[in-house]
Amino acid sequence: MKITFPHMGRMDIFIKGMVKALGMETVIPPTNSKKALDLGVKYAPEFVCLPFKLMLGNLIEAFEKGADTVIMVSDKGPCRLGLYGLPMQIILKNLGYKTNWLILDTPHALYGLFQLGIEKDVVKYRDKLTFVDGLLAFHFGWKKMLAIEEIERLSLKIRPYEINKGDTTKGLYQGMEAIESADNLYDLKKAKDAVIKDLRSIPQDRNRRPLKIAIAGEIFVVLDSFANLDIEKKLGELGCEVDRTIWFSTHILHHVGLDKFMRRSKRKAVRAARPYLKYPVGAECNATVGYAILYAKEGYDGFIHLMPFTCMPEFVASGILTRVSKDYDIPIFTVELEEHSSQTHLMTRLEAFVDLLHRKRAKKKVNS
Amino acid sequence: MAIRVGIIRALLYYRLYPFWKTFFNSLGIEVIVSGKTTKKLLKKGLKYAPDEACLSIKVAFGHVKDLMDKVDYLFLPRLVSLERGTYICPKFIGFPDMIRSAFDNLSPLIDTSFNLRKRPSNLFFPMYRIGRIFKKSPLFIYRAYKRALEEESKYLSSLQKGILLPEVLSSWEERRTLRSSNPKGNLCIALVGHPYNLYDSFVNLNIIKKLEDLGARVVTPEMVSPLEIKKEADKIPQEVYWSLGREIVGASLYLLESKSIDGLIHLGSFGCGPDSFLRELIADRARKHPEIAYLSLILDEHTGEAGVVTRLEAFIDLIERRKKRSIRLSY
C-alpha cells in the first residue's frame, strides 16, 4: 500500500512535511519535467488541458516507482477537474497498472481517507499516534508551505532590482532546498531566517523603477513553474515587479472561509467582477476578471492572464478581459499554455509586452 | 406592433426552441430566429469571438451578430443547469456576459439564469421573471408556462419515434403531421455528439445527408429513451456532470451494448472541453466491441468537405466489407 498524488506547484512540500511527521508510506513522483509531460501527452486525450497531461505523467512515473493508490483532490464543478479521475483510470488500466483511487471531491470522501488509513495500515505505529499528532503534522506541513511562499514572495520583490542576473533565482532554489530538508519547527525557522537574510543581501540597484505586473489565471498553471515556463522569473529578469494572485495557502484559506480580512482576497476579486460577470462560472474565472479590475485600480502597469489551452472557465474570463482592458485602460496579455509552448516564443512575446508597457508609462509621464 | 424577441439558431436551440417559442407566443410576443448558419455568418462570429473559443461558441457569436439589429430583445438565457446535479458547460454560464463584453450597442439582453441543479421544480421562477420583463400578469405567465411545458413534452416524445430531429422540428414549426419515416439503408450508423453539432448542417458539413446517401440509417442520442440513458450513465463509476455529456455517453454506451448498430461516429468540435473526455470514455467501450466500427470526427471552421467525405466513405466501405466477410464465414 503506497500512496501517491499528482503535483501541483509546490504542494508536494506541504504533503511531504505532513507525511514526514506522520510516518506514512508515500511515493512522491519526480517533479514536473519534460519527461512527465511527454508521458502525459502520449497517453492523454488530445484536447485535454495541460494540467491533466502533467498529472497523468506524474502518476505514470509514480506507478513505475511502485505506487498503487492515488489520492486526488477534486471537485464537483462544471470544470473538467472533477472528472479527471475517470479517463485517468481508464488510461492507467489500459497501460496495465493496478490502481486504487481515492477522489476527494466532497467532505464525505474524507471518511474514505480515514477508512483507508484504518484498513490498510497506511500509518505506521498507528496505535501510538493520536489526534494531536495529526494536528501537529498538519501544522508542520502548513508552516513549511508558508515559509516557501514567503521566500518566493520576497524573491519576486528583489528580482527586478538585482544587479547580477540570476542571483535571486539561485538563492531561491537553494533556500527551497534548505527549507525542504528541515525536520522540525526550530530548524525550519532557522533555515527560513537564513534564506531571507541571504536574499536581502543580494546586490541591488534601488534606483530602478520596475514595471508592476500582476499574474492571475487558472490555479494549476499559475502555481506550477514548469507549466507556466517560469514566467515569473522571466518577467523579473526583464525588470518587472511581479505579484502573483494565487498562492497555495490563500487558495486553501479561501475554501475554508478564512480570507475575509486579507487585502487581496479571492472573495473581494469575485465581488469586483460583478459588473462584468453576474454569475459564478466556476474555478478561477470570476476571480481572474476581478483581479484585473482590482490591480488596474491600484495602478498596476500590466496584467497577465495564464490559462491552459481549451480551459473552459478561463476561456470565459479571457473573453471578458478584453472589455476590462478597454474600460480600465490596463494592457492585458492572455497566455495560453500547452505542451507545444516554447520558452523562446513566450520570451519574445513577453519582451514585446514589456516594451509596450514601458512606452505606455513614458506617454503617461509626458501627458501629466 | 408586437414586441420582437430574438432567439439564436445555435447552442440549445435544437432542444429548447419549441418551449421558448410557445412561451413567448402565448404571451403575445413575436419570436424571430436567426438565419441558418452560413460561411458569412461564421466569419462575422470569428471577428468578435475570442480566438480560443470552441467552434460552437464562434458560431453562436455569428448568430448573435446576425440577429442583433432586428429585434427589441435578445434572448440569451444563462443556462447553468437544467437537471438535478448537473451542469451544461461553463461556457454556457458565461455566454451572455461574453456577448455583452464583445459587442457594443447591443439590444437589451434577457439573461435570466436557469439553475435547476439543486431544485429541478424551480423552472417556473425564471420563466416568471422573464414574463415580468414584459409586464404580464402572473396568471397569464403561468398559463403560457404550462402551455410551453405541454408543447415541449409533446416535442420530446415525438423525438423518440426514430425520426431525425430536424424533421421533427420543422414539422412542429409548420404544425403538420410527422412524415412517417421509411428507413432505407441496410446499415445502421449511430451519430453521437452535442445537438448543436449534429443538427447544424453547415457546421457538420451535412453529415446526416451524406451518410444517408451512402446507404445508412442514422440513429442519434435523442432517439434513445431517457430511461436507458440514465441506466447506462449510472454504471459509470463517477458521475458525468455535464447533462449533454451524460446523455451522449449514456446513449452511446447503450447503443454499443444493444448491438443494434453497425458503426458509431462521435462528432466533436475543436476546443470543446467535455468532448475531450467523452471521446475517451466512448472509445474505451468501443474497443470492447470490435464488431462495431468506431470513428471520431473533429469539426472546426476549416474542415474541408472532401476530407470528411473520404473518411465517411472509407468507414462505410469498412463496415460493408466486414459484413460480407462475416456472412461468408458463417457458411
Write out chain A residues lying below 8 Å of B54, CB-based: 310
pLDDT, greater one: B312 or A99: B312
CB proximity list for B310: less than 8 A, separation 6 or greater: none
CA distance B50 to A322: 9
Contact, A142 vs A185, CB < 8 A?
Answer: no
Grid cell, residue A116, equals: 483507508
Top residue of A88, A281, A285, A286 to mutate, by most chain B CBs within 10 Å, is A281
Which residue out of A70, A279, A286, A322 would a mutagenesis test of the B interface target, given it has the greatest number of B Cβ atoms within 10 Å? Answer: A279
Of the two residues B127 and A100, the one the predictor is more confident about is: B127
Cell numbers linked to A304: 497577465
Residues with Cβ < 8 Å from B331, sequence gap 6 or more? none
d(CA B163, CA B182): 9
Taking all residues of chain A, what is their mean pLDDT, rounded to a whole number? 85
The C-alpha atoms of residue B206 and residue B212 are separated, in whole angstroms, by 10
Strands A211-217, A302-308: pairing is parallel
CATH fold match for the domains B4-159 and B181-330:
yes
For residues A245-262, one letter each, b for 16 or more C-beta atoms within 10 angstroms of the residue's C-beta and e for the rest, the string is: bbbbbbbebbeeeebeee
pLDDT, residue B270, reads 85
Cα–Cα dist A330/A143, whole Å: 36
**Residue A69 reports pLDDT greater than 70:** yes
Above 90 in pLDDT, residue A351?
yes
pLDDT band at A214 (very low <50, low <70, confident <90, very high): very high
Q: What is the dihedral of CA B267, B273, B276, B281, to 10 degrees?
A: -90
Q: Domain residue spans in chain A?
A: 3-129, 131-208, 210-368
What is the model's pLDDT at position A119?
55
Shortest CB distance from B276 goes to which of A48, A76, A78? A48
Q: Which three cell numbers stand for residue B166?
A: 430536424
Task: Write out the three cell numbers for B293.
Answer: 466500427
**Chain A positions in Cβ-Cβ contact with residue B100 (cut-off 8 Å):** 276, 323
What mean pLDDT comes out for the span B304-324? 88
Residue B271, amino acid: G
For residues B143 and A79, the model is more confident at: B143
The rounded distance, in Å, linking the Cα atoms of B12 and B8 is 9
Give the whole-angstrom CA distance, residue B204 versus residue A218: 32
**Quick one: pLDDT band at residue A333, thresholds 50, 70, 90?**
very high
Among residues B63, B59, B88, B98, which one has the least CA distance to residue B303? Answer: B59
Mean local confidence (pLDDT), B245-271 = 89
pLDDT of residue A213: 93
With cut-offs at 50, 70 and 90, classify the pLDDT of residue A107.
low
- Indicate the average pLDDT of chain B: 86
Quick one: fold of B181-330?
Rossmann fold (3.40.50)
* CB neighbour list of residue B218: distance below 8 Å, 6 or more residues apart: B164, B189, B190, B191, B208, B211, B212
Give the three-class secondary structure for B331. coil
Residues of B in contact with A334 (CB under 8 A): 52
The pLDDT score that the predictor gives to residue A194 is: 92
- Contact call for A276 and B97, based on CB within 8 A: yes
pLDDT band at A197 (very low <50, low <70, confident <90, very high): very high
% pLDDT > 70, chain B = 96
pLDDT over 80 (residue A121): no
- The rounded distance, in Å, linking the Cα atoms of A301 and A213 is 6
What are the backbone dihedrals phi and psi of residue A45, each rounded to the nearest 5 degrees, phi first?
Answer: -60, 155
Confidence (pLDDT) at B331: 58
Phi and psi of A70, rounded to 5°? -110, 130
ipTM of the complex: 0.85
CATH number, domain A210-368: 3.40.50.11900
Going from N- to C-terminal start, the domains of chain B cover 4-159, 181-330
Q: How many Cβ atoms sit within 10 Å of the Cβ of residue B111?
A: 17
C-alpha cell at A263: 487585502
Q: Is the Cβ pair A80, B277 closer than 8 Å?
A: yes
Q: Which of A77, A90, A315 sits opposite B50 (nearest CB)?
A: A315
| pLDDT tens readout for residues A12-33 | 888 877 777 666 677 888 888 8
Determine the pLDDT at residue B87: 86
Domain B4-159, second-level architecture? 3-Layer(aba) Sandwich (3.40)
CA A38 → CA A35, A84, A219, A340, B251, distances in Å? Answer: 5, 18, 22, 11, 33
Q: What is the mean pLDDT of residues A125-150?
A: 78
Output the pLDDT for position A151. Answer: 92
Question: Which of B81, B80, B78 is CA-nearest to residue B96?
Answer: B78
CA atoms of A74 and A81, how far apart (whole Å): 6
pLDDT of residue A116: 62
pLDDT of residue B1: 66
